[in-house]
A and B are shown apart, each in its own frame.
Chain A
């Protein structure tokens, strides 16, 4: 278990005195079935954590609980606001949670259909969060949307096209742009590269890696692809049947897995 040392400093020079996200004893039950049990971890500003495990391991449930979409059965999720104060995610009023979710957070769904409005143009999708926080100038909303599309390597000529006319990889990048436009500090991603072919996947991963560094984003990435975890994540959490099996630095866990299940998982990866 390795939280970074307390005397590490952010690039800006501010000491890392508090984790951005602190999850304590999180349990989610669906009646008698337990989806995830007693999960505890801290996420520090700028840190990327990957959650891996087989299907049904509770990864997505964990992500949904932590990102404010499903209320957990037990445990608490503490988030450090921009002013340094702490918010207990499910104790703060719902309006504040919703505001947090679309300003300070991003949620990137596996299927772009869950994260985008398909009857609204690309520009409208990307600009929505700005309008939600009160932007009322069409030209500047559109301008900022175009800027972000460009940054995500989406052809800016597609700004007025509907998402359905874009390729899967582009849709995923539009979804990311839509989330990053409010400069969130924390991004949740559920299989961000799922369903994309390998070359598109590689470029998206490359882009994600540079964005995470440039914007100093903290991220929780759920994936079943160990290569994605290896490429993006600082830390790795291995889950099985709702339990956390192993949690540590990515390279450590992947190169020297301690638990039998992790060993199995790592050895199952096909080598080309």
Chain B
């Protein structure tokens, strides 16, 4: 742990302010709570919201895991993990089951989370109605009155144009039967994992200065039509490395002659499966 900074970089007053916003967010599932977002030593869009949430909840006894698109070893994940290792000295891990706090950019781990874990999402645009209604005054009213018809108009447009609901990520959900929420740009594959999750889910948007949350065991329903129900992505192939048939697969281009393979996006899950296989042999 390097000197000169307070524990977890932010000063204690800021952390308190963020915790108050978090408490309110947990008390009103899916509601966007404004908070005084601080300048962080990384650019907007790199996870300033998530990093502030993590900084205000992390304690010396915590174990932190950071993922970026499911992977532990990409730039964003590595730099945020190192940031907290240096400013707090907490243990970090790449194993989902060992972590108490998981900060994530756009995935939920394949391994089922437990009720002793907290997952923190980095959110670019928190307002689900933003591209449909540009006025903040109006979107606030729409939330207040649960007036969410335009969202269905968007899904209607998808079906009219593509024959199915083509929204594949950031798929709109209704939390606790009340607030419309943007689950951050996770693939819709992960939407079912939000529903009645035992883990607390916190969402931080640094540039937009909003925090929202899904408390444990809260209903999270993806919007759909009766005759076009919500469906998650499926693949015709399995993970080329671990053979998993039920995880989210990334397409990896392997050469410039059309070679490609599909591998698990969750690197820890994939490695875990391969290790178990190796141990069994």
Residues of A within 8 A of B (CB): 94-95, 98, 117, 120-121, 123-124, 127-129, 131-132, 136-139, 141-142, 159-160
Summarize B's interface: helix, strand, loop or mixed. helix
Bound: A95/B143 CA distance, A: 11
Given A95-B145, A128-B150, A160-B161, do A141 and B156 touch, yes or no (CB 8 Å)? yes
Q: Flag if B225 contacts A136 (CB, 8 Å).
A: yes
Set of chain A residues within 8 Å of B161, measured between Cβ atoms: 121, 160
Shortest beta-carbon distance, A116 to chain B, in Å? 12
Q: Flag if B145 contacts A120 (CB, 8 Å).
A: no
Which of A98, A136, A160 has a CB less than 8 Å from the CB of B160? A160
Q: Flag if B156 contacts A138 (CB, 8 Å).
A: yes
Q: Flag if B225 contacts A121 (CB, 8 Å).
A: no
Q: Flag if B156 contacts A94 (CB, 8 Å).
A: no
Set of chain A residues within 8 Å of B150, measured between Cβ atoms: 128
Shortest beta-carbon distance, A124 to chain B, in Å? 5
**B157 close to chain A: CB less than 8 A:** yes
Q: Flag if A124 contacts B226 (CB, 8 Å).
A: no
Which of B141, B145, B157, B225 has a CB less than 8 Å from the CB of A137? B225
Residues of B within 8 A of A (CB): 141, 145, 147, 149-150, 152-153, 156-157, 159-161, 224-228
Task: Kindly report which residue of chain A lies nearest to residue B152, judged by CB atoms.
Answer: A131
Shortest beta-carbon distance, B203 to chain A, in Å? 26
27 A-B residue pairings within 8 Å (CB atoms): A94-B141, A95-B145, A98-B147, A117-B153, A121-B157, A121-B161, A123-B156, A124-B153, A124-B157, A127-B153, A128-B149, A128-B150, A131-B149, A131-B152, A132-B147, A132-B149, A136-B152, A137-B225, A138-B159, A138-B226, A139-B227, A141-B156, A142-B156, A142-B160, A159-B160, A160-B160, A160-B161
Which of A98, A123, A138 has a CB less than 8 Å from the CB of B228? A138
Set of chain A residues within 8 Å of B157, measured between Cβ atoms: 120-121, 124
Shortest beta-carbon distance, B162 to chain A, in Å? 11
Set of chain B residues within 8 Å of A132, measured between Cβ atoms: 147, 149
Task: Kindly report which residue of chain A lies nearest to residue B131, judged by CB atoms.
Answer: A119
Shortest beta-carbon distance, B211 to chain A, in Å? 26
Set of chain A residues within 8 Å of B147, measured between Cβ atoms: 95, 98, 132
Shortest beta-carbon distance, A18 to chain B, in Å? 28
Which of A117, A137, A160 has a CB less than 8 Å from the CB of B227? A137
Shortest beta-carbon distance, A162 to chain B, in Å? 10
Shortest beta-carbon distance, B174 to chain A, in Å? 12
Bound: A67/B152 CA distance, A: 25
Interface centre among B141, B156, B157, B228 (most CB of A within 10 A): B156
Set of chain B residues within 8 Å of A123, measured between Cβ atoms: 156, 160
Which of A95, A127, A129 has a CB less than 8 Å from the CB of B156? A127
